[in-house]
Amino acid sequence: MYFTEDTYKTPENHSRVWGDRLSLNSRAYFLYKYAREVFHSRKMALNKTYTTEAWAASSMRIFRIIENCGGKFHITGLNNIDPENGPYVFVSNHMSALETMIFPVIIASKLDATFVVKSTLVTYPFFGPIMRATNPIVVSRENTRVDLLRVLTKGEKLLSNGISVIIFPQSTRYPNINPETFNSLGVKLASKAKVKAIPIAIKTDFWGNGKIVKDLGPINRSKPIYMEFGEAIEISKKGKEENSQIIEFIQDRLNKWSN
């Protein structure tokens, strides 16, 4: 377990490493270090040694790379991830590649977990083996009915085996949250599996989306990184009210962080 307190904030005196300073405020050093970590993880995945522990450790190294390149984390609500009362369905907004890289060290270091991911992520030449090694729930984003059945069926099985599920209900990455594009898959899964849902609000536009490859976008060192884990929510049969509650939680934090 890497985080033992309820909050984490990058120390004020944490300075950028020389390699990043020499990149003259570009993303060159950041992408170099990130790519090295991805290649290392990919090799482990292909060798069938990419365990949950290895996943969390790799995520921690990326966490440090971000800090060493000027990223300032502000994370709260970590004690709401209580392994003794899990597993959970984690429901988060989606802004960049950063949260998918950092959630493992925060969540998977405390309890077994996996993601709901788009099918394209498991077929990427570089990222594919890594994602497949985490046994994700794969959806196509083409047929809502089929995706719902797949999430509910495999998700319930995973949760019954003590494996938490992390889901981004938005169909793609958004700088804001729109209730109309924030589906209820997360609360439906939590209701069916009879587990609680933990809402996560994130603001991760420190790491932008690339024009050609989304995960290789620019970084903006002036933008702090915010993450807040809410209290676990018991889901009623339909979960409509709870989904609205999660949306309000995320919107409230985004408004606060943007001011």
Amino acid identity, position 94? H
Q: How far apart are CA 192 and CA 190, in angstroms?
A: 6
Cα–Cα distances in angstroms (integers) from residue 142 to residues 71, 99, 188, in the given order: 35, 24, 19
Q: What is the pLDDT of residues 195-208, one digit of tens each?
A: 999 999 999 999 98
**Residue 140 tokens, joined:** 């196509």
* pLDDT at residue 61 is higher than 70: yes
Q: How far apart are CA 122 and CA 127, in angstroms?
A: 7
Q: What is the pLDDT of residues 214-226, one digit of tens each?
A: 667 788 999 999 9
Under 8 Å between Cβ of 164 and 113: yes
pLDDT at 126: 81
Q: What is the pLDDT of residues 232-245, one digit of tens each?
A: 999 987 788 999 99
Strands (E), the chain: 8-9, 73-76, 88-92, 113-118, 137-139, 164-167, 196-203, 225-229
Under 8 Å between Cβ of 165 and 113: yes
User: pTM for the full model?
Assistant: 0.94
Under 8 Å between Cβ of 181 and 215: no
Which domains occur in the chain, in start order?
A: 8-258 (3.40.1130)
Strand partners, 117: 138
